[in-house]
Each structure stands twice: as C-alpha cells, then as structure tokens.
Amino acid sequence: MNGAMNRKVLILLGPVAGIVMFIAVVWMATVFVGRSEYRDPYRAPAATADATPRAEGVAAEKAAADTKAKATPYAEAEYRTFPIVGSRVAIWAVAQLHLLFAAFVLAVPLFAFIIEAIGYKTGDLRYDRLAHEFTKLLSVSFSLTATFGAFLTFMLIILYPKFTNYLMSVFSPTFLPYVLLFFFEAFFLYTYYYGWGKFHPLLHLFLGLGLNLVGTAIMLIANAWLTFMMSPRGVSDTGAVLSVWDAINNYTWMPINVHRIIANIAFGGSVAAAYAAFKFLQAETDEERAHYDWMGYIGNFVAISAFLPLPFAGYWLAKEIYAFSQTLGLTMMGGAFSWLFIIQAVLIGNLFLAANYYLWLGMGRVDGVQPLQKFIKYLLFAITLCFMVWATPRSIIATVSELRAMGGGAHPVLGYLGVMSAKNTAVNILILTTFMSFLLYRRTGKVATVAWAKAGHAAQLSIFAAAAFIVIFLGIYGYFVEATVRIRLSVPQVSSVLIAMVSITAIDVFLFRGAMRTGEVRWGRIPRVSQYVLIFIAVTFTWLMGLMGYVRSGLRQHWHVYGVVRDHSADAFTPTLGFATKVVSVTVLMFFLLIGFVFWITSLHDRPEYQRREKGVGATAHEAEPV
Amino acid sequence: MKIPLILRIGALVFATTGFYAYVGQMVPQKEVQPPAEIVLRTDLTTADMVKVGREIMEGKGLCFTCHTIGKSGALRFPDLAGVATRAKTREPGMTDIQYFAQTMYEPNAFIVPGFNPGMPVINKPPIGLTDQEILCVMAYLQTLGGTATVTLQTKHQYNAGTATPTTPSTGVSPGGTQPEATVKGEKR
C-alpha cells in the first residue's frame, strides 16, 4: 500500500518536476540571452516622471496618431522583432529544436528497419522486439517535430517576412511535394508502428522501407532550402531565379544530405541508447536490465558506427564550401569561426573517450576478459594524446609579455600541433583507436578456431600498423610541403583509415566464424555508471549538433542568402562564441526536457492498465477493461 | 538519502551542457559587425586613398582573411610584402595597375605559381567593392614595396579605361591628410 502511494506520488512528481524545470530553463534562457545582447533604453522610473495627468494632451496625441496611422499607406514589413531575446535567437532555438526532433524521427526508422530485417532473416524474436521498442519512441517525437516545424514556419513569416517570401518564390515548386510527402510520412509511420505484428512481416518491412524513403525525401527538400542560403546557385547576382534545379542542386546540397543522414543516425542511436539507459536504471528485474543493457549497447553501437565515418563526410562538406567560395571556407576555418573548432575538438574528444570507456566497461559482461584488458591502457594513452593534439589551438590568448616570450602569436613548440597536419593525424588515429576498442570488445570471450587464425591475426595487425604509419608519416610530411600539396594529403590519410577498417572487419568476420566461446555474454552485468555514460554521450552528440548547426548557419554572417540577399536586420552581426554556446546549451536543455517527456509517455506503454494495477496482478484481462 | 533517478539524470544533463557552455566562454570572444558602407569623397588624395585602402583590406574587403604581409613559410595564399615590385613584372606587358586590377576583377586569369585558385571576384557580392574602393586598395598595395601613384581618376581595363598607368602623384606621402571616409547609416 505504502509502495503504491509512493509510486503515485512519484508519478505526480514527474510531470510537476518537468514543468518546473521547463519554466526554469525558459527563465534561464531569458536571463542568459537577454542580459548579454539586448538592453532596453533607459527610462526614468515612474516615480520620477512628471506626474501631471495632461489628459487632454494625451488624447490629442492619440487622435493625431490615429489620423496619421489611417493616412499611412500599407507597406510590406522587412523585419519584425521578437520580445526580449530578439528575432534571431527565437528563430535559432525553434529551428534547432525542430532539427533535433526531425533528426531523431528520420534516424530511428532507419536502424529500426535494419534491426527488424535482421530479426526476420534470423528468426530471432529479440530483434523484432528491439526494433519495436525503438519505434515506440517515434509517434510522440513525430508530433513534436511537426509542431516545431509549423512553429518555425510561422516564426519565419512573422519575423523575416521579406526574406521568407523570397525563399518561397525561389523554391515554390518544392512546397507542395513537401506537404504531400508529409502525408505519406504520417501514413507510413503510423501504419508501421500500429501495424507491428498485425501484417505479414514482409509487408511490415515494406512499410518500414516506405517510411525511410519518404523521410529521406523530406530531408532532401528541406536541405535544398538551407544549403541554398549558404551556397546559392541558379539565381542571378540580383537574386532572380534562373534555374530551380540548380538552386536545389547547389554546391553544399549533396554533402549536407550525406553528412546529415550519417549524423542523424549517430544522434538517433545515441538518444535511443539514452532511453535504454534510463529504462535500465529504472529496471527492477534482471530480465529488464538484460534487455535494456542490450538495447543500450545496440543504440550506442549504431551511434559510434555512424560517428566514425562522419569526419570524412565533414571533409567533403568543407571541400565543397571551399570550392564554392574560398572566402567562406576561410571564414570558417581561419576567420571568425576558427575557435569554434577547438570547442568541437573538446566535444569530439569527449565522445571518443566516453564511447571507448563504455566499451571497456562492457567487456565486464563477458567471462574471460582479462587477456584483453591489458590493452586498454595503451588505447587510453593514444586517445588522450590525440585529444590533446586536436584541442591545441594554433594561436593562443596571451599577454604582451607572453607573446614576446613566445616570439609571436603561436607557441614555438605547441603551435605546430595547432595546424591541420597535426589535427588530421590526431583525428585519424582517434578513429583507428576507437575501431580497435570495438574489435577488442567483439572478440571478448571468443577464440578463433580457423586453421589460418595466426596468419589472420598477423594480417590484421599489419594492416592496422600500415594505416597508422601512413597517417603519421603524411601528417609529418605535411609540414615540409606547399599548401597545394598539403591539402591533398588528407585524402590518402582518410583512405588508408577507411581501407584498414573495412579490410580488418572483413578478416574479423571470417576469422571468428565458428569461434570457440570461452565465456558467456551476461547482458545486464555492467556497472550502473555505464548507463550514465550513455546519457552523457547523447547530451554531447546533441550539443555537437547544435554547435555545428550554428557554424553552418552563422557562416553566412551578414547575409540571408550568401552574396545575394543581404541581412539588414538588427541581428545582422555575428555574435561571440560565448553567446552562441549559451544559446546552444539552453536549446539542448529544452530538447532533453522534451525528450524526457517523450521517454515518459513511451514508458506509459509498458505500465499495467489502471484497473489491473488497482486490483492486483490476478485480475483478468476482462476485469481490467475500462467500464 | 537516495537521490531520485530523474534528479540524477537531470543533474548530469545540466552539468554537461553547463560544462560545454563554460568551454565556450574560455575561447576568444569576438563579435563581427557587418562591414560599414563607405562613401568616398571625390577629392581624396593618393595618401588618403592609401589609408582608406588599408581600412578596406582589413574590413569590407576581407583581404586579410587569406593574405598576410611579411609572413613566410607554407602559406595558403600569396604574402603581400613587396607585391608592388612584383606586380610590375608579374605578367609581361602589364603595368602594376593593370595587374592589380586583373587580380581583383578577374582573379582566375593568372594564378601565382605554387598556389591554388581561390581569390573571389572583388567587385561582386559577397565582397562587392566599388571601382573607387578598388582603386584605394590598389593605392595601398602600391605602398607595399613601392610608392602609391593611383588617383580616383586612374583608368584601367576594367573601369572603362584603357591601360593607362597614372603619373606619380607629387607631394603626397602615406600618412598625409586624414581621409574623410564617412560611414553611411549602417545598421548594427
């Protein structure tokens, strides 16, 4: 009885705490953002103002103002202002929230579909259950995505009417297909979710495929609008439309499409893993813990697998930005935004450290892990070293005396670690090291029994060593060659890492086929701290998406459409990175409050019906039906 | 006392976002304003133009995003120290003014050996310098290893003139009178 009461109190406290935290975050946003950027002009306090009523004068002024207003012809507004935080911050927060939910809604069906297909192929019902569990998160998230999308559209029309009108005129042929696709998306999503177990598996898989195709098409259209703003094409110097297809197929459209699909998967995987972590920490039975441990592992596996090739998609995007405009590229990497990439390095370094830490903790699930644990310290050393190199800035903030002592803006030794040669090397080694952690985890509790096992291990080690050598050698070589040569060195560095990962994985699959098991995997046997690591990874991914969204959008600086439509609003300036990171942080907090709401609603699905709970476990289904 | 799970998770989320916001405060803080629109007086002297040219290169022209002055080593774009001397002989048959004009109006016509193409067309958006502003930039460039000779009346192949190098201006040296470049009501 007491337990039931406590549970009721907790159920009540959950939403109350959520509402209080939401209000606190909105208040914080107002304080953070309002204080540093916008100040009202000074006005004398009412007490010191002239107390004379002057009612007649006021009435006359009002009448004059009315007459003037009536005589004023209608004029199209170029901008309108949003109270307290200003138009830009308001649009920024809403757009970011819309994008985060959209990313989640696009990513989850992708890996749910793959997991369901694995379940169908292998006949293992655990996969089917897991895919269904992921899909449960979708319906509420879809509603929130659409709500924020509508909110964003209204905000654009209200706050930036002239620019929005221009964008709509350029892309007018794309809007109706976009709306139509949304109908299809809703159809596929709800039939996929509610039709689970109700249709033939192949038909259900077809619905999943349709959901993914339509979702991707929606993303491609929306990406055309935003990439056009960054790298416009298909319009004249004055903005007149010459070719809608060229406007869609601009320089950064395809790289952003690819980058977003991969990043969405990484992000979606991490948030789904955070949901599993939340459920694991709530779990009361070993069975539940085992299930959610497995779900968290799969979510994190999806996230990190997508995260590893993400830098390569990032290189492509950066290359296309440079190809469109060297000025834009240099503003990004060498100008106003260059320090942003130091913050990015901290985030990515944390992601790599956390992902590896989770894998190492996960090794404890398997008996017989000791032989492999000795390698962890070397991996940790390599990751830490790479993290430090990546986070080293080229120029540093220093006093005059420090600058004199260094002999310039860059440190005589550490300055060499701040350039692209060192950073490219560090990130490639980081990726290789994390890949090694995956491999070690994969082979925990297994011994290869194939006849060529020794040769296979040697081949894997040789490929790994060769890739590491190529990356480091080219990194050092980059210091001694001209810029034209150095820029191209990143291609063989990246290629060698990719080839190594693919070939080592291929060998590993055959090497451990029919391997002897030395220990069972005991799902659920993992320290609780590992679940907090999963939540940390999800928050870091989300924050990283917010930051990179800012640089992509902020890169245009005082242009709505770069080089075509100039921003004449009060927000045309580029804010400080400190201000940007505050906005990103507040938006991320809002997102996690909302996704917490999604988790809570989703978890209601598993809760016994009200009457059954009241009457006890013994109540029949018939008795439990609502009257 | 056991802390409820929701509070523990909330604290973790709050601490993580707080930490990243803190990192954001640790890097240099710079607010970049849109470039001011400059209205040039028609009677600017060459010395005035040199000063205005330097200002344009630092601001609206975004020149120093890529170019350096007096830096050596593995550079991505040509260093401008001594460019006035090199400009006279860089392309056969071209004066320094013609060469400077070509680098700004038609930057891909000639690429300095060892470098990649990348210079934007300077009289078009997003930079969009006017013909007069470009003349001021040329005046400044001429001081990097030479003496400024350009005036606002200087004609070249891109401003409806033929290749006519101007006569050296007399009696005006860099650091002369203060240019009266005025900023036209640019909104923040």
* CA–CA separation, B158 and B99 (whole Å): 11
Q: Angle at Cα A60 formed by Cα A58 and Cα A61, nearest 5°?
A: 65
Determine what percent of chain B falls in helix, strand and coil, rounding each to the nearest 5: 35, 5, 60
* CA–CA separation, B128 and B104 (whole Å): 11
A251 touches chain B (CB under 8 A): no
Confidence check: pLDDT of A625 > 50:
no
The predicted-structure confidence for B6-23, as pLDDT tens digits, reads as follows: 999 999 999 999 999 999
Q: Which residue of B has its CA nearest to A10?
A: B4
On chain B, the residues whose CB falls within 8 A of the CB of A570 are 187-188
% of residues, chain B, pLDDT over 90: 52
Confidence check: pLDDT of A394 > 90:
no
CB < 8 Å from B in window 263-302 of A: 278, 281-282
* CA–CA separation, A577 and A551 (whole Å): 10
Q: How far is A347 from chain B (nearest CA, A)?
A: 8
Within chain A, what is the greatest distance between any pair of CA atoms? 103
A621: confidence class by pLDDT, cuts 50, 70, 90: very low
A174: confidence class by pLDDT, cuts 50, 70, 90: very high
The predicted-structure confidence for A93-150, as pLDDT tens digits, reads as follows: 999 999 999 999 999 999 899 999 999 999 988 899 999 988 998 988 999 999 999 9
Verify whether the Cβ–Cβ distance B16 to A539 is below 8 Å. Answer: yes
The dihedral built from the CA positions of residue A142, A148, A149 and A150, taken in this order, carries a sign that is: positive
Verify whether the Cβ–Cβ distance B27 to A342 is below 8 Å. Answer: yes
CB < 8 Å from B in window 335-394 of A: 335-336, 339-340, 342-343, 346-347
pLDDT value at residue B169: 33
Tokens coding A335: 């100008």
CB–CB contacts below 8 A, A to B:
144
Q: How far apart are the first and last CA of chain A?
A: 24
pLDDT value at residue A37: 54
The predicted-structure confidence for A336-372, as pLDDT tens digits, reads as follows: 788 898 899 899 989 989 998 998 898 888 876 667 7
Name the residue among B21, B62, B125 with its Cβ closest to that of A237: B125
The predicted-structure confidence for A558-584, as pLDDT tens digits, reads as follows: 999 999 999 999 999 999 999 999 999
* CA–CA separation, A279 and A598 (whole Å): 13
* CA–CA separation, A119 and A321 (whole Å): 41
- Residue A446 sits at φ, ψ, to 5 deg, of -130, 150
Q: How far is A411 from chain B (nearest CA, A)?
A: 16
Mapped onto helix, strand or coil, the DSSP state of residue A442 is helix
Residues of B with CB under 8 A from a CB of A: 4-10, 12-14, 16-18, 20-21, 23-25, 27-35, 62, 65-66, 74-76, 114-116, 118-120, 124-127, 187-188
pLDDT value at residue B2: 83
* CA–CA separation, A157 and A2 (whole Å): 54
* CA–CA separation, B49 and A322 (whole Å): 32
* CA–CA separation, A126 and A292 (whole Å): 12
pLDDT value at residue A484: 66
The predicted-structure confidence for A453-507, as pLDDT tens digits, reads as follows: 999 999 999 999 999 999 999 989 888 877 667 777 888 998 999 999 999 999 9
Confidence check: pLDDT of A627 > 50:
no
Please name which of B144, B168, B143, B171 lies closest in space to residue B154, comparing C-alpha atoms.
B168
Total count of residues recorded for chain B: 188
For A99-118, the DSSP string reads HHHHHHHHHHHHHHHHHHHH
The mean pLDDT value for A241-269 works out to 95
* CA–CA separation, B97 and B165 (whole Å): 6
Q: How far is A568 from chain B (nearest CA, A)?
A: 7
Provide the residue type at A370 as one letter: Q
Q: Which residue of A has its CA nearest to B17?
A: A585
Arithmetic mean of pLDDT over chain B: 82
Please name which of B121, B143, B119, B185 lies closest in space to residue B49, comparing C-alpha atoms.
B143
- Looking at A38-160, list the stretches that DSSP marks H as alpha helix, in order from N- to C-terminal side: 55-71, 87-122, 125-136, 138-159
Please count the other Cβ atoms lying within 10 Å of the Cβ belonging to residue A1: 5
pLDDT value at residue A83: 92
Verify whether the Cβ–Cβ distance B126 to A536 is below 8 Å. Answer: no
Q: Which residue of A has its CA nearest to B12?
A: A536
Mapped onto helix, strand or coil, the DSSP state of residue B145 is coil
Q: ipTM of this model?
A: 0.81
* CA–CA separation, A111 and A302 (whole Å): 8
Arithmetic mean of pLDDT over chain A: 86
On chain B, the residues whose CB falls within 8 A of the CB of A335 are 62, 65
Query: Is there a contact between A206 and A242 (Cβ–Cβ < 8 Å)?
Result: no
* CA–CA separation, A611 and A616 (whole Å): 8
Its pTM stands at 0.81
